[in-house]
Structure 1
Amino acid sequence: MNQTSGHRIVAWMKSLGHPRSWGRRRIYTSLQARAVSLAVLLALIFGVVFSLASLLSIRNSLQDQVSAQAQRDFSNQVARVQEGLDAAQMEDQQQYQSLITNLASSFQNDGAVNLVGVFMWGSGRTANSVLVPVSTDPTVASLISESMRSAVSGGSCGGVCYQPINLKSQTHDRAPGAVLGTVLNFSALGDLELFAVYSYASQQQSVMQIQLSMLIVIIVLCLLLGIVVWCVMRSVIRPVERVAVAAESVALGQLNARVDVNRHDEIGILQRSFNEMASSLDEKIEELEKVGTFQRRFVSDVSHELRTPVTTIRMASDLLESRKSSFEGSTARTVELLSGQINRFEKMLADLLEISRYDAGYAAVDLVEGDLRETVNSAVIQVGQIAEAKGVPIAVLLPQDPVISSFDSRRITRIIRNLLINGIDFAEGKPIEVHMACNRQAVAIAVRDHGTGMAPEQLAHVFDRFWRADASRARTTGGSGLGLAIAMSDARLHGGGIELRSAPDLGTCFLVTLPRDGLHEVPASAQPLRFRGDEELDPVDASGAGIYAGRSVAQADRKDDDRGDV
């Protein structure tokens, strides 16, 4: 394996991350994985609880059974030994000792299979007994506790005493067992204490085998349940995923995207419904496109057709304008109104023609390198008479050094002019401020008025075609409602854009951002000016300082302002 392949494998492993975090992300993002995990977890919990309850019940049942069996076996053997003692007729101690040894061996041989050993000795109530203790297993005596001996010798058990103990077995360090004890009547030499030790190791082994078997069954059942749920969820999720992919394709504009209808259940209903919805949507969009195309063509054709009669009307109006001095006062005033309305009509036709070019995709920029300050000044001069008539002063603050950029002078002039006219309409005699800042990548131009402003619900429609705020409908300078829409289109055609902030009674600020090369979009980090927040009307420069705060109009009009590029 070469070094490049090794780096790729390491990068792939890093992208996967820790298995635990990858599995957690998979569960969070996949319905199929979540359903399988939940089903397996619930099955595992149920299996563990059921197995624990079953094992506890089985263990208690086996323990009670083997305990009862040991007690029955002990009682039977005790009765047989007692009969042997009662029938014995011995003359000396040696014969009695031999009899007890034989009885212990017989007890061991004839007892149950789980009988570990037998221990017999003289009772504490016959302290003068000279019998030697007898044991079939040397370890039995050590398993009999003092409390057990006291209980047997004292007769507190009422017959047979029972005490659970732990034994050492070949397969386990600790195996359950029990010690049973009683007192035998031996009239010749006194009473005898008899103890028998029983082991429950085989029953414990059976419980362990049952536990292992149940564990294997639980694991297998969980795996099978997980596989079944996975397959069921896969049969449901895969068709839904195909529908989702088709929906994304439709959202991206691929209106011919469809899904195969291969089921007859609820998923099949979803597939058919999606196809019907996509077909209906395709038809509606085609109808809307036809209507839109017809409307755009109608506007374009009407605009072109109106240019000829408007030109003729303009010629007649100019002729009347040249002879206005010879007319009466009312007639001369009518000629002036006619000339003004014809000018407005010509501007409206020009806007409609420009909109039709954008709709047809014929709009293009004629980039020429030049000083953008001259274009801004030209736009200010063009609206100077309108601003003077309205009593609205315009303060212009431009960098001292030339701002050389590639731009379409006609379109940039139109952007600034439209923004200024909009500001004049809403300024209500208050000043308008124009500020420019630039850096190596972009140029920003802010047009700020302090007029009526707009409500938040109006801001979303400012750049809509033919939309005008109610506050300006009665104004004589009001246009067709296309100026701001054309301004936004011109800015986007340069790779830039226009941002807007406004508030009632506080005014409005438009912020135009343009790339200096006229081609590439301007990232947010490279903007010379930006708004501080949604409620902040005055933009700030790149360092965060306000460009209008604390500055009067008179200061803005000073020619020796020392502000340069931001």
Structure 2
Amino acid sequence: MIATNATRVQVAIWRDPRQWADALATIWRRSMRFRTIAITLLLTSLAIFITCVIMALVIRNDLFESRKDEALHNARAAVSQAQTLLDSGQSGDDRSKKLALWREAQNVLARTASSNRIAGFPATLDGDGFAPPGFVNKLSSEQLSNELRTRVIKVPGRQAWQSIALPQDDGTTTAGIVVGQQLVVPDAGSYDVYIAYDLADADETLIFVQRTLWLAGISLVAILAAISWLVLRSVSTPIIEAAETSARLAAGDLEVRLPVRGEDELATLARSFNAMADSIESQIGELAELSLVQQRFVSDVSHELRTPLTTIRLAAEMINDNRDEFDPTTARTAELLHTQVQRFETLLTDLLEISRYDAGSVQLEVEATSLAQLAEEIVEQLRPLAATHETELRMVAPGGYSPVDMDPRRVRRVLRNLVGNAIEHGEGQPIVVTVDSNQHAVAIGVRDFGLGMRSEDAAHVFDRFWRADPSRKRTIGGTGLGLSIALGDAKLHGGTLAVWSELGVGTNFVLTLPRGGGDLSGPSPVPLEPQESILDIANVTEPIVLRRDDDAPSAGSRGLS
């Protein structure tokens, strides 16, 4: 059954010219050997075709010229011997002798001309004497053109010839040539004698030569194709091996090498490639070792700093709790110490988390959770912070209520980071948190209307310790690792975290998580590039009841918070 289906597919491909052309185009693009052989055969076939055509034309002309010269020579010799016979004959006024002499002349013409197609017609008669009648032997006057007969009459001493089609006994025609010349009969006048020669033998010779030329040309093309294939195979096989080896090396197989054969240029290429691969493997090994040392260093340093930092934090909290007993300068110093120690502890926590991602030792603690409920929690937690920045938080949740397998702690951290960044960079404008879902995924978007970023800056927002404007200070104590960790959390769930930003318009982050823990398929429920403007948001003054999921909880309608 499988073989039958494969056969049907092949038949369908061969029946459809477009699929056949697409297959050839694909082979043409991807195979250097096929392309080279095709070009070689095309140019060779064209050259051989032109050569064969030229040789066939030259041979045909030579055959015709030689056959024409032979016909003219035979006709001239026949007319000359017949004229000699007539001039030497003594017939007088005896009609019977004249007729006998005339028949003898006809026999001489037929015998000497080597042709049985002869005709003679009276041209001019002298006096009132007896003139022998004309004769026709397999050559009628209808086969002779007026132009030929006119030339024979106007130039009595010269030969005239013309190509004609001679009928055969089976009803077919063959190429021929007819030669005309005048013959003078003493005491009677002049006669136009025409002798036709069959060129069938020349045509057969020409056909044989042409067939031989074409067979030789086709054989030569086949031989050249075989030679080209053998030569190209010996040259292209190492190149194909180099291409496949390069692809494997690019895919991460650092131990692959090219076989070295001989001492020619290809062997030099193989040795150079192997040396390059050795160098790349060595450098990547060094970089991997250096990265491992760096990761271990960060992890070890972070762990080692935890103990003294805990002591410092306890001391800072004790000092900060008693800051009212100090003078204002010392109290402010104690407050700053407490704040920076907290930031330092947060930085160590983020560094430890980054080191776990680098080491590949992060695991999810999955449970069924509603993304919309998580978003509501984060929005409510950060409302006081938004109030200090005179920023209004709004939430739009048409979907996302049905539980989805996720790690709620990590998703809360992502949302807290996104909303916190929006508050910090929102320039006091409203911030819209949108949650929605479809059959493939759930998503949340955090949209602010702040300064925004250029596209080249937006491409670096997930880099560690990167800031679009280094001169701006962080107002809520960020470590510069939050977005990098957030991206790692999204990828760990099999989802995506994307950003859209435009200078002077604002920024939109969209976190998309797949349902069921699979890979994402289809578009995100929340578009990355927002459609609403700041004016659209500012015009909304009353709560809007939005559509909910069919499986949403029955507790109240969701709207703009």
Shared fold by TM > 0.5?
Answer: yes
1:336 maps to which residue? 335
Q: Deviations over 1:355-404 (max 9, x none)?
A: 11111222111112233333223323443343333322222223488442
Bigger shift: residues 502-511 or 244-253: 244-253
Distance 1:398 1:458 in 2: 30
1:32 maps to which residue? 33
1:108 maps to which residue? 110
1:96 maps to which residue? 98
2:554 maps to which residue? none
1:552 maps to which residue? 537
Distance 1:10 1:134 in 2: 73
* Contact 1:165 1:179 (C-alpha < 8 Å) held by counterparts: yes
Distance 1:60 1:170 in 2: 27
* Contact 2:28 2:34 (C-alpha < 8 Å) held by counterparts: yes
The Cα shift of 1:504 comes to: 1.0
The Cα shift of 1:482 comes to: 0.5
2:120 maps to which residue? 120
Matched to 1:10, the amino acid is: R
Match of 2:526 among 517, 520, 529: 529
1:234 maps to which residue? 233
Matched to 1:249, the amino acid is: R
Q: Deviations over 1:443-496 (max 9, x none)?
A: 111101111111111122111122222256423335221100000111111121
Q: State the aligned residue count.
A: 545
Matched to 1:53, the amino acid is: I
Q: Deviations over 1:206-248 (max 9, x none)?
A: 2222111111111111111111112111212211111111111
Report the 3-state secondary structure (helix = DSSP H, G, I; strand = E; otherwise coil) of the residue aligned with 2:460: coil
Q: Deviations over 1:96-124 (max 9, x none)?
A: 21221122122212333xx2422234334
Instruction: Give the 5 Å matches for 1:130-279.
Output: 130-135=131-136, 137-152=137-152, 154-156=153-155, 158-168=157-167, 173-279=172-278
1:444 maps to which residue? 443
The Cα shift of 1:126 comes to: 5.2
Bigger shift: residues 278-287 or 378-387: 378-387
Which runs of no fewer than 5 residues in structure 2 stay unpaired? 551-561
Report the 3-state secondary structure (helix = DSSP H, G, I; strand = E; otherwise coil) of the residue aligned with 1:123: strand
The Cα shift of 1:552 comes to: 2.6
Distance 1:175 1:220 in 2: 31
The Cα shift of 1:326 comes to: 1.6
The Cα shift of 1:24 comes to: 4.5
Judged with a 3 Å threshold, the aligned counterparts in structure 2 of structure 1 residues 297 and 17 are, in CA distance, closer, same or farther, namely farther
The Cα shift of 1:282 comes to: 0.7
The Cα shift of 1:47 comes to: 1.8
1:466 maps to which residue? 465
Bigger shift: residues 198-207 or 16-25: 16-25
Percent identical:
32
Matched to 1:138, the amino acid is: K
Distance 1:413 1:8 in 2: 53
2:424 equivalent to 1:425:
yes
* Contact 1:178 1:198 (C-alpha < 8 Å) held by counterparts: yes
Report the 3-state secondary structure (helix = DSSP H, G, I; strand = E; otherwise coil) of the residue aligned with 1:529: coil
Distance 2:399 2:68 in 1: 108
Distance 1:183 1:440 in 2: 106
2:8 maps to which residue? 10
Matched to 1:102, the amino acid is: E
The Cα shift of 1:309 comes to: 0.8
Report the 3-state secondary structure (helix = DSSP H, G, I; strand = E; otherwise coil) of the residue aligned with 2:185: coil
2:548 maps to which residue? 564
Matched to 2:54, the amino acid is: A
* Contact 1:472 1:478 (C-alpha < 8 Å) held by counterparts: no
Report the 3-state secondary structure (helix = DSSP H, G, I; strand = E; otherwise coil) of the residue aligned with 2:520: coil
Instruction: Give the 5 Å matches for 1:38-57.
Output: 38-57=39-58
Bigger shift: residues 177-186 or 501-510: 177-186
* Contact 2:431 2:447 (C-alpha < 8 Å) held by counterparts: yes
Distance 1:374 1:11 in 2: 53
Distance 1:432 1:280 in 2: 52
Distance 2:54 2:236 in 1: 37
1:351 maps to which residue? 350
Judged with a 3 Å threshold, the aligned counterparts in structure 2 of structure 1 residues 473 and 303 are, in CA distance, closer, same or farther, namely farther
The Cα shift of 1:16 comes to: 6.2
Distance 2:117 2:186 in 1: 25
Report the 3-state secondary structure (helix = DSSP H, G, I; strand = E; otherwise coil) of the residue aligned with 1:383: helix
Matched to 2:159, the amino acid is: V
Distance 2:212 2:330 in 1: 113
Distance 1:197 1:239 in 2: 68
Q: CA RMSD in A?
A: 2.6
1:534 maps to which residue? none
* Contact 1:101 1:134 (C-alpha < 8 Å) held by counterparts: no
The Cα shift of 1:549 comes to: 7.5
Distance 1:17 1:338 in 2: 82
Q: Deviations over 1:519-538 (max 9, x none)?
A: 1122124x21123xxxxx41
Report the 3-state secondary structure (helix = DSSP H, G, I; strand = E; otherwise coil) of the residue aligned with 1:522: coil
The Cα shift of 1:179 comes to: 1.9
Distance 1:171 1:429 in 2: 109
The Cα shift of 1:408 comes to: 1.5
Judged with a 3 Å threshold, the aligned counterparts in structure 2 of structure 1 residues 18 and 563 are, in CA distance, closer, same or farther, namely closer
Q: Deviations over 1:143-196 (max 9, x none)?
A: 3334433433x3335432222222245899443322222222222333333221
2:558 maps to which residue? none
* Contact 2:400 2:443 (C-alpha < 8 Å) held by counterparts: no
Report the 3-state secondary structure (helix = DSSP H, G, I; strand = E; otherwise coil) of the residue aligned with 1:352: helix
2:508 maps to which residue? 509
* Contact 1:394 1:433 (C-alpha < 8 Å) held by counterparts: yes
Distance 1:462 1:552 in 2: 26
Judged with a 3 Å threshold, the aligned counterparts in structure 2 of structure 1 residues 372 and 347 are, in CA distance, closer, same or farther, namely same
Judged with a 3 Å threshold, the aligned counterparts in structure 2 of structure 1 residues 233 and 312 are, in CA distance, closer, same or farther, namely same
2:86 maps to which residue? 85
Bigger shift: residues 250-259 or 546-555: 546-555
Matched to 1:257, the amino acid is: V
The Cα shift of 1:428 comes to: 1.9
Distance 2:211 2:461 in 1: 75
1:58 maps to which residue? 59
Distance 1:399 1:185 in 2: 120
Matched to 2:540, the amino acid is: Q
Report the 3-state secondary structure (helix = DSSP H, G, I; strand = E; otherwise coil) of the residue aligned with 2:391: coil
